[in-house]
Structure 1
Amino acid sequence: MNLDPDQLSSYANTFLKVLIDYSPKLISAFIILFAGLYIIRLINRFIRRIMVKRNLDPTLTKFLADILLWVLRIILFVSFISKLGIETSSFVAILGAMGLAVGLSLQGSLSNFAGGMLIILFKPFKVGHTIEAQGVIGTVNEIQIFVTKLITANNQTIFIPNGSLSNGNIINYSLQRIRRADLTIAISYDTDIKKAREMITAVLKNNPKVLETPAAEVSVKNLTDSAIQIAVRPWATNEDFWGVYADTLENCKQAFDTAGIIIQPYVKESSKKNNTESNEI
């Protein structure tokens, strides 16, 4: 293919003319873009400082700041393409159609976004609280727009979608300052119930982590076929709860061993049924 030098020269002159005519728009558009990004960063920092000074919840602060950041970026992008000479009306129509299509395909994500908004507004839990939800227990590490991040006791990270989290049952173990341990100790029918209760009460009184108010409860819970079940319900702070739970079981076992009281092992109903059928045979 032979190229005419005059034709190439004409193309080059046309390109340079268009470039020279369009360069002011191009330069001004990029000035707006870079200046806008810098200003948005300053505004975001300023808003965060104001919300921190007003002692707003850290999660709410981050959530609102992120939303503001993306809104300002979208406005800047529309201004940028408008300065380039692109018709924004048709562009907005295209964005609307794309938004509808994306919205229909991402209904679950929108549900998670709405769930995150509900969690932020109504605050059933905060960062640092220990909760039980969706069959898992963990400490809230971060509340994001779509998911909530939990850290379990064995240092595993669990992400729960905000949609299912906001629509399900949530047990917040940190909302109250104190917590009650519900323990059950089974003893044989040969044991003096009054003596066993007195020993358990003494164990609880000797533990400084057990709260005096509310008072601990030691009472007969149930009379089964194989044992007397005693309910032991001491109160402790959230920080001392698991220590009180373990110490109560250990110290009661040691006290019973010293007094010669036998803790009755748990017998499953299926095992008792099998033993009964064997005896009948």
Structure 2
Amino acid sequence: MSSMLSTEMVTVATETTEAAPVQNVVDTVSHEVEQTTSILSNLFQPFLDKLPELIFAVIFLAVGYFLIKQVMRFVRRTFERSNMDGIMASFVRSVIKIILYVLLVVIVLSILDVPMDSIVAVIASAGVAVGLALKDSLSNLAGGFIILFSKPMKEGDTVEVDGVIGKIEAITILYTRIVTPDNKTVFIPNGVVSGSKIINYTDKELRRVDLFFGISYENDIDMARTVLMDTVQAAPETLHDPAPEVFVSSHDESAVTLRLQVWTKSENYWALHYRLLEDVKKAFDRKGIAIPYPQVDVHVLENAEKSEEK
């Protein structure tokens, strides 16, 4: 009997000894799981607490983006109805769009409880940094405002700016885009444009073509004047009011220079200019009027020749 009890006690002790490591493993795993859960809970709890605000901020951002699109569409239609200059309308729309998007971002950050003091500080710091890094760009931005509000030129005008001649295609926030007669696109910084001399060739409806023609001293001035006037009258681009004029401009070394002044519409300036250069030369040739080239007459004194021979 006692041997049987001893055997049973040994068996129970053996089972207890074998079960202890298993229990320790279970306890350790449970402890690690609890710790991991606690860490994850601490990490994600702020996110879970902010989740409603985050969802609302995302919804507000999407709605705000849609509303900005609608506002910009309304602004564009309003500018089109008001017949505002295309360049100024484009520039103002760009500025309005930037302002609206900045306001949208600020509102979304405030919804997320980002302190406004921090937002203002960040914007101010960023403004200072951007201002120092992009001072030339800010100069171009200011130049764009000066150009648009002083209106020295408008879309479609043919101008000369900083040595470039071409047609104004657009004035963006930073650059003025000009298309040259040979179809090259030139981007000139607005700061350069606002500080340069601007020649607008098409601002006025009419322009005067000034041409100079030299005739020989042996030719008749009245005949040359008649030929020039007849040639001008025959040109279809010529305007008769104001009336064309021809007068003697100067007495040069090799020619008497006549100045021809004739008015035309601005868009016909170069057509008339090139037509008159060709037609006047042909008319002078038909009438025997010479267009002299520079020449020098050399006179040799007979006494000087004899003294050299001696």
Q: TM-score, normalised by structure 2?
A: 0.81
Report the residue type matching 2:72 in the other structure: N
Aligned partner of 1:259 in structure 2 is 287
Rounded Cα–Cα distance in structure 1 between residues aligned with 2:245 and 2:130: 57
Spell out, residue by residue over 1:179-225, the C-alpha distance to the aligned partner (whole angstroms, 9 max, x if none).
11111111221211111111111111111211111111111111111
Greater Rg, structure 1 or structure 2? 2
1:35 aligns with 2:63: yes
Rounded Cα–Cα distance in structure 2 between residues aligned with 1:19 and 1:132: 60
The alpha-carbon distance between structure 1 residues 240 and 120, as it changes in their structure 2 partners (threshold 3 A), is same
Rounded Cα–Cα distance in structure 2 between residues aligned with 1:64 and 1:202: 51
The alpha-carbon distance between structure 1 residues 60 and 25, as it changes in their structure 2 partners (threshold 3 A), is same
Rounded Cα–Cα distance in structure 1 between residues aligned with 2:133 and 2:227: 64
- SS of 1:240's partner is helix
Rounded Cα–Cα distance in structure 2 between residues aligned with 1:225 and 1:88: 80
Aligned partner of 1:278 in structure 2 is none
Aligned partner of 2:109 in structure 1 is 81
Instruction: Among all aligned residue pairs of Structure 1 and Structure 2, give the percentage whose two residues are the same amino acid.
Output: 37
Rounded Cα–Cα distance in structure 1 between residues aligned with 2:99 and 2:294: 61
- SS of 1:214's partner is coil
Deviation at 1:139, TM superposition (A): 0.4
Rounded Cα–Cα distance in structure 1 between residues aligned with 2:94 and 2:176: 16
Residue among 204, 226, 229 paired with 1:201: 229
1:216 aligns with 2:271: no
Aligned partner of 1:106 in structure 2 is 134
1:60 aligns with 2:54: no
Q: Which consecutive unaligned segments of at least 5 residues does structure 2 have?
A: 1-27, 299-310
Aligned partner of 2:195 in structure 1 is 167
1:249 aligns with 2:268: no
Rounded Cα–Cα distance in structure 2 between residues aligned with 1:16 and 1:247: 82
Structure 1 vs Structure 2 CA RMSD: 2.1
Higher helix share: 2
Residue among 92, 98, 101 paired with 1:70: 98
Deviation at 1:9, TM superposition (A): 2.5
Report the residue type matching 1:142 in the other structure: A
Deviation at 1:85, TM superposition (A): 2.4
Deviation at 1:17, TM superposition (A): 3.5
- SS of 2:168's partner is strand
Aligned partner of 2:8 in structure 1 is none
Rounded Cα–Cα distance in structure 2 between residues aligned with 1:258 and 1:75: 75
The alpha-carbon distance between structure 1 residues 266 and 87, as it changes in their structure 2 partners (threshold 3 A), is farther
Q: Which consecutive unaligned segments of at least 5 residues does structure 1 have?
A: 276-281
1:156 aligns with 2:187: no
Aligned partner of 1:231 in structure 2 is 259
1:12 aligns with 2:43: no
Residue among 37, 40, 44 paired with 2:72: 44
Aligned partner of 1:132 in structure 2 is 160
Residue among 177, 184, 189 paired with 2:212: 184
The alpha-carbon distance between structure 1 residues 33 and 204, as it changes in their structure 2 partners (threshold 3 A), is same
- SS of 1:183's partner is strand
Report the residue type matching 1:72 in the other structure: L
Contact residue 141 and residue 173 of structure 2 kept, 8 A: yes
Q: Which aligned runs of 4 or more in structure 1 are off by greater than 6 angstroms?
A: none
Residue among 89, 97, 111 paired with 2:125: 97
Deviation at 1:6, TM superposition (A): 3.1
Rounded Cα–Cα distance in structure 2 between residues aligned with 1:266 and 1:165: 41
Rounded Cα–Cα distance in structure 2 between residues aligned with 1:261 and 1:40: 71
Q: Which moved more, 1:136-145 or 1:167-176?
A: 167-176
Spell out, residue by residue over 1:104-148, the C-alpha distance to the aligned partner (whole angstroms, 9 max, x if none).
332222221111111111211100000112111110000111111
Q: How many residue pairs end up in the alignment? A: 269
Deviation at 1:16, TM superposition (A): 4.6
Rounded Cα–Cα distance in structure 2 between residues aligned with 1:34 and 1:266: 77
